[in-house]
Structure 1
């Protein structure tokens, strides 16, 4: 195989920062991954990350948006949500008690995903969750 050839397939979707766009992001993810055993986990992750972008960043403000990227290879499904920024701090995995109404979404994503990465991206942040296709939750072989 040529060194610049990739077997990964990549999709992207930009959504306006309206709450109803979270369901659109879920449907989009489900449609792409319809034959994958990890589709439900991916759908839940996209739902949480999209909702976080709308609730906690400028993505949810007037004329805000968020961008999804989905990359699929034989080893991994990578789901990324990039927000419009507007917060003084990067998203972080919080350890909230079970009665908390907010702050548990990224923690839940970190339990479902095999790896979660957060990095700065053009004034906002990108959260990427990876699901390894040959492993179950917690990194154990399926």
Structure 2
């Protein structure tokens, strides 16, 4: 294979910052990954990351959020980029038992093989990766 040829396929979707767009993001993800054993996990990850963008950043209401889905033979990578508006980067929290929010990114961190956060107060991108080779000692590359 030529060194600049990629077998990865990439899709993108921009959604208005309304709560009902989370279900659209889930459907979009499910449609792209139809037949993949990672589809259910990917759908849950997109749901959580999209909801976080709407609830906790300027993406909610009049803003928007962007999804990117990259699929290669070894990795499914799901990214959600928000419009920022907060000085605090997304991070896993330890909410109290009666807390209504605060568990989403922790759940994503448990499901995904790797979670990476990039950005600043102008916008954060959270990328969750699911490796297709999950045998003991399996690596994405």
Q: Same fold (TM over 0.5)?
A: yes
For the structure 1 residues 96 and 122, does the alpha-carbon distance in structure 2 shift closer, same or farther, using more than 3 Å as the test? closer
Say whether the 8 Å CA contact 2:87–2:120 is kept in structure 1: no
The 4+ residue runs of structure 1 with deviation greater than 4 A are none
TM-score (norm 1): 0.92
**1:34–1:121: structure 2 CA closer, same or farther, 3 Å change rule?**
farther
- After superposition, the CA RMSD in angstroms is 1.7
Ranges in structure 2 where 5+ consecutive residues have no aligned partner: none
Q: Please name the residue that 1:110 is paired with.
A: 109
Structure 1 spans left out of the alignment, 5+ residues: none
Do the aligned residues in 2 keep the contact of 1:66 with 1:83 (CA within 8 Å)? yes
1:90 corresponds in structure 2 to 89
**1:13 corresponds to:** 13
Identify the residue that residue 31 of structure 1 maps to in structure 2.
31
SS at match of 1:60: coil
TM-score (norm: length of structure 2):
0.92
Q: Which stretch shows the higher mean deviation, 96-105 or 12-21?
A: 96-105
Rounded to whole Å, the distance in 2 between the matches of 1:12 and 1:104 is 26
Match of 2:48 in 1: 48
Would you say how many aligned residue pairs link Structure 1 and Structure 2? 138
Richer in helix (by share): 1
Rounded Cα–Cα distance in structure 2 between residues aligned with 1:80 and 1:24 = 15
Question: Would the alpha carbon gap of residues 18 and 114 (structure 1) be closer, same or farther in structure 2, given more than 3 Å must change?
Answer: same
Q: Which moved more, 1:15-24 or 1:92-101?
A: 92-101
Q: Work out whether residues 86 and 121 of structure 2, in 8 Å CA contact, stay in contact via their aligned partners in 1.
A: no
